Amino acid sequence: MTSVEGESLERQAWIALAHVVEPGDRQVGRLVLSEGPRAVVDRIVDGTTGLRHQGALAARLDSVALFAAEERAASCQARIVTRADREWPSQLDDLGEAAPYALWVAGAANLRLAALRSVAMVGARACTGYGEEVARCWAAELAGEGWAIVSGGAFGIDAAAHRGALAADGMTGCVLAGGVDVPYPRAHDALIARIADDGLVVSESPMGESVRRQRFLTRNRVIAALTRATVVVEAAERSGTMATAQAATAMNRPLFAVPGPVTSPASAGCHRMIRDAQAVLVGSVDEILGMLDLGRPEGGGHGRRSERDALTVVERRVLDALPGRRAVDPQEASRLAGLAAEDTWAALGVLEAAGWVTHEPGGWRLAPGRA
Amino acid sequence: MTSVEGESLERQAWIALAHVVEPGDRQVGRLVLSEGPRAVVDRIVDGTTGLRHQGALAARLDSVALFAAEERAASCQARIVTRADREWPSQLDDLGEAAPYALWVAGAANLRLAALRSVAMVGARACTGYGEEVARCWAAELAGEGWAIVSGGAFGIDAAAHRGALAADGMTGCVLAGGVDVPYPRAHDALIARIADDGLVVSESPMGESVRRQRFLTRNRVIAALTRATVVVEAAERSGTMATAQAATAMNRPLFAVPGPVTSPASAGCHRMIRDAQAVLVGSVDEILGMLDLGRPEGGGHGRRSERDALTVVERRVLDALPGRRAVDPQEASRLAGLAAEDTWAALGVLEAAGWVTHEPGGWRLAPGRA
């Protein structure tokens, strides 16, 4: 078996797991972390996972038309991005045992690059005019600053955030709880189609999967994991939004909450998160940007580590190989990093998108403040 | 010289200092803390304070009609409460070198008792309808729960807080920057007169003193020191309200801030204090009461200590002498505490007002939860 065949088999294993394992299933996730995807698929086939739901997993594996999965996606202008793929947003791996195995993606942009500079903006479906205005304006402002706005396509705050980003000709990503060909809510058919055209529609559910109650909660963890920070615009005291916030907190991602009138129940969840020091109060986009900047290398500390952690081994190798002050051409960068020219070019593209390096007429150099 | 004469001389010394020393003057305050009021008055007379403004202090002492001070207050239905008096709110001593020497008080209620269970409610003069509504409703609710609402009588939030407390037939205290016979702003003549009738009007400035810019700032420290906690309803980013908040923080008094729409500049100061963890966000009166309860003995910790600190030595002695579970009559309490019956009675009254003890047909006992 060649290495290309091996890679292809691994990819197929991730796609198989994405079909048969329920999102967020930590028992299978633990096995995958310790044995790898191909071994786990083999165990499901052989009936040796030792899990109580072994039978259900095997039955699903039997029934899904894996061979047609890629074709089916392509027929809807979608693609499957697995953990084995270059486009995989590696910060999803922070979910550990609960990390997705593959994502279905509709949209021309590179998911990995978009996610590197993205903010989740979520909130109540039953929002107020105030919340809707803040979501729309702030999403437009953040998108104008080059940040992708990620949300869930729901009524209320979600839709306002997507629309704000679209209105600013910015990038927006919609993470669905069902298949990317099953827009939900149906009333947002046109909005979700527009996001697929101008941004990205993403799901860990295979094509055709309908939404289920549980999948809204597991979907929320993907929104939190995919992004650098989560902004909660309005949330009632008990709500699904609080689950997204919980997921962001569990991953040590910055969580921002927008205050509102104390007379508005739609702000009660935000106020609780602020009072309990779970979320940081934000009063403007500038404040959000200021705090995201703390995550840049010059800020130091925790943020620095987690941003570097979002890079692949190859990207970090290229980054570390760049000289402190002068610009280098790709050939020299490739030589310094000891990597193939093609891999070095790709890595430089990612590093540029994430603000680590800049591209000038003289070549590539470390971005100011990162030298 | 009898002890009664000594007490009277000390009282006169405090009144003299209140006339000649500018509020918040820490240089004189330091001398007073180390040598006592009578020695400092003697030094001013003798020209031996060693302070650069010795001349100014002596000149003022010469010019004020001290002998007529009490009469002049009485002619306006006011009284002078000095640090030597039983009615003195001892938590003002937390101001240390900046503590007032005496207060001019108009109103029938006992200032010391009212202050033991009081909350400052302050905020922007240029407030919004939202802020005004929150101040009015919360002040009424807190007053209905037996808390005195202390504020500065200004336009906007201050006036709304006073009015809310008055509307609930509750206790409210207005701390003025000029004399208690110089209502300011003049447009609040009637409001301040009503507060003197139904509540308390207080100032550390002698009768007839007009307001000066500096005295608004020094007045704010009295509002913060007099109360158990400060609630800021609306405040612009740079404002006098922020000074009151600063004073509360400097004394480790709980500081609460009310959030509002991020689109409202009147809430920007509140949001900043919350974000900087200077103030705790509060969304309702219940939350305020819940956090003030942390200061009760069963809550433990810091709050417990500071509430006991507000008691005099005599009150603490009576409190500590009460048996754990049974009620005692005043004679027995007096015997157990080893104090005169008269002093024991007075202390029991204060302890009851502050919620430490309850008065039942069988006598006095520790309040539930305090045994």
Cβ within 8 Å of residue B25, ≥6 positions away: B98
CATH 1.25.40.420, domain A106-297, yes or no: no
pLDDT tens-digit profile of A242-265? 888 888 888 889 999 999 999 999
Using a CB–CB cut-off of 8 Å, the residues of B that contact A are: 130, 133-134, 258-263, 267-268, 271-272, 274-275, 277, 280-284, 287
Q: How far is B230 from chain A (nearest CA, A)?
A: 16
Instruction: Give the separation between CA A178 and CA A78, rounded to whole angstroms.
Output: 14
The phi, psi pair for A233, rounded to 5°, reads -90, -50
Residues B178-184, mean pLDDT to the nearest whole number: 95
pLDDT band at B299 (very low <50, low <70, confident <90, very high): very low
Say what the pLDDT of residue A247 is.
86
Of B361, B369, B367, whose CA–CA distance to B322 is shortest?
A: B367
B interface test, pick of A262, A272, A285, A291 with most B CB neighbours within 10 Å:
A262
Q: What is the DSSP string of B108-123?
A: SS-HHHHHHTEEEEE-
Give chain A positions within 8 Å (CB) of B133: 263
Count of A-B CB contacts under 8 Å = 62
The 3-state secondary structure of A175-227 reads ECCCCCCCCCCHHHHHHHHHHHHHCEEEECCCCCCCCCHHHHHHHHHHHHHHC
Tell me the ipTM for this assembly.
0.74
Instruction: Give the separation between CA B371 and CA B369, rounded to whole angstroms.
Output: 6
Question: What CATH topology corresponds to B111-297?
Answer: Rossmann fold (3.40.50)
The phi, psi pair for B104, rounded to 5°, reads -90, 130
Hey, are the CB atoms on B263 and A287 less than 8 Å from each other?
Answer: no
pLDDT band at A241 (very low <50, low <70, confident <90, very high): confident
Three-state DSSP class for residue B366: strand
The 3-state secondary structure of chain A reads CCHHHHHHHHHHHHHHHHHHCCCCCHHHHHHHHHHCHHHHHHHHHHCCCCCCCHHHHHHHHHHCCHHHHHHHHHHCCEEEEECCCCCCCHHHHHHHHHCCCEEEEECCCCHHHHHHCEEEEECCCCCCHHHHHHHHHHHHHHHHCCCEEEECCCCCHHHHHHHHHHHCCCCEEEECCCCCCCCCCHHHHHHHHHHHHHCEEEECCCCCCCCCHHHHHHHHHHHHHHCCEEEECCCCCCCHHHHHHHHHHHCCCCEEECCCCCCCHHHHHHHHHHHCCCCEECCCHHHHHHHHHCCCHHHCHHHHHHHHHCCCHHHHHHHHHCCCCCCECHHHHHHHHCCCHHHHHHHHHHHHHCCCEEEECCEEEECCCCC
Give chain B positions within 8 Å (CB) of A271: 259, 281, 283
Hey, are the CB atoms on B259 and A267 less than 8 Å from each other?
Answer: yes
> Are A337 and A295 contacting, i.e. CB atoms less than 8 angstroms apart?
no
pLDDT reading at B302 higher than 80: no
pLDDT tens-digit profile of A52-103? 999 999 999 998 888 899 999 999 999 999 999 999 999 999 999 999 999 9
pLDDT band at B305 (very low <50, low <70, confident <90, very high): very low
CA B334 vs CA A111, B27, B343: distances in Å: 79, 41, 8
Residues B282-306, mean pLDDT to the nearest whole number: 64
Burial class of residue B338 (count of CB atoms within 10 Å of its CB; 0-12, 13-18, 19+): exposed
> Are A14 and A82 contacting, i.e. CB atoms less than 8 angstroms apart?
yes
Residue B364's DSSP bridge partners are B328, B359
Q: What is the DSSP string of B28-58?
A: HHHHHHHH-HHHHHHHHHHT-S--TTHHHHH
Instruction: Give the separation between CA A302 and CA B94, rounded to whole angstroms.
Output: 39
pLDDT reading at B294 higher than 70: no
> Are A196 and A106 contacting, i.e. CB atoms less than 8 angstroms apart?
yes
Say what the pLDDT of residue A177 is.
95
Chain B residue with Cα closest to A265: B283
Residue B246 or residue B82, greater confidence:
B82
Hey, are the CB atoms on B259 and A263 less than 8 Å from each other?
Answer: no
Hey, are the CB atoms on B130 and A287 less than 8 Å from each other?
Answer: no
All structural domains of chain B with their residue ranges: 1-64, 111-297, 311-366
Three-state DSSP class for residue B284: coil
pLDDT tens-digit profile of A115-163? 999 999 999 999 999 999 999 999 999 999 999 999 999 999 999 999 9
Give chain A positions within 8 Å (CB) of B134: 262-263
Hey, are the CB atoms on A283 and B268 less than 8 Å from each other?
Answer: yes
Instruction: Give the separation between CA A244 and CA B250, rounded to whole angstroms.
Output: 37
Chain A residue with Cα closest to B131: A261
Give chain B positions within 8 Å (CB) of A272: 283
Give the HSE-up count for residue A2: Cα atoms under 13 Å, Cβ half-sphere: 3
pLDDT band at A165 (very low <50, low <70, confident <90, very high): very high
- The minimal CB distance from A259 to the residues B130, B271, B287 is found for B271
Give chain B positions within 8 Å (CB) of A262: 134, 258-260, 282-284
Q: How far is B129 from chain A (nearest CA, A)?
A: 12
Q: Which long-range contacts (CB under 8 A, 24 or more apart) does B49-55 make?
A: B51/B27, B53/B27
Say what the pLDDT of residue B327 is.
85
Instruction: Give the separation between CA A23 and CA A99, rounded to whole angstroms.
Output: 8
Give chain B positions within 8 Å (CB) of A265: none
Locus of tokens 């200077």: B278
Q: How far is B282 from chain A (nearest CA, A)?
A: 7
pLDDT tens-digit profile of B193-249? 999 999 999 999 999 999 888 888 889 999 999 999 999 999 998 888 888 888 888
pLDDT band at A298 (very low <50, low <70, confident <90, very high): very low
pLDDT reading at B304 higher than 70: no
Hey, are the CB atoms on A134 and B262 less than 8 Å from each other?
Answer: yes
Residue A12 or residue A7, greater confidence:
A12
Hey, are the CB atoms on A259 and B280 less than 8 Å from each other?
Answer: no
Choose which CATH entry (3.40.190.10, 1.10.10.10, 3.40.50.2300, 1.10.760.10) describes domain B311-366. 1.10.10.10
pLDDT band at A33 (very low <50, low <70, confident <90, very high): very high
Residue B57 or residue A314, greater confidence:
B57
CA A230 vs CA A224, B7, B304: distances in Å: 6, 64, 38
pLDDT tens-digit profile of A308-340? 767 778 888 888 888 877 888 888 888 888 888
- Alpha helices per DSSP H over B117-187: 129-144, 157-167
pLDDT reading at A1 higher than 90: no
- Model pTM? 0.78
pLDDT band at B57 (very low <50, low <70, confident <90, very high): very high
Chain B residue with Cα closest to A278: B275
> Are A267 and A237 contacting, i.e. CB atoms less than 8 angstroms apart?
no
Using a CB–CB cut-off of 8 Å, the residues of A that contact B are: 130, 133-134, 258-263, 267-268, 271-272, 274-275, 277, 280-284, 287
Give chain A positions within 8 Å (CB) of B284: 262
Whole-number CA gyration radius for chain A = 21
Hey, are the CB atoms on A281 and B287 less than 8 Å from each other?
Answer: no
Say what the pLDDT of residue A370 is.
61
pLDDT band at A358 (very low <50, low <70, confident <90, very high): confident
Hey, are the CB atoms on B130 and A280 less than 8 Å from each other?
Answer: no
Give chain B positions within 8 Å (CB) of A282: 262, 275
Say what the pLDDT of residue A285 is.
96
Residues B50-68, mean pLDDT to the nearest whole number: 91
A interface test, pick of B121, B136, B231, B281 with most A CB neighbours within 10 Å:
B281
Distance of CA B283 to the CA centre of its chain: 25
The phi, psi pair for A143, rounded to 5°, reads -65, -35
Cβ within 8 Å of residue A157, ≥6 positions away: A121, A122, A123, A124, A125, A127, A131, A132, A135, A151, A233, A234, A241
pLDDT tens-digit profile of A103-112? 999 999 999 9
Residues A33-45, mean pLDDT to the nearest whole number: 96
pLDDT reading at B295 higher than 50: no
Q: Is the dihedral of CA B357, B105, B256, B156 positive or negative?
A: positive
Instruction: Enter the tokens of residue B170.
Output: 């509750």
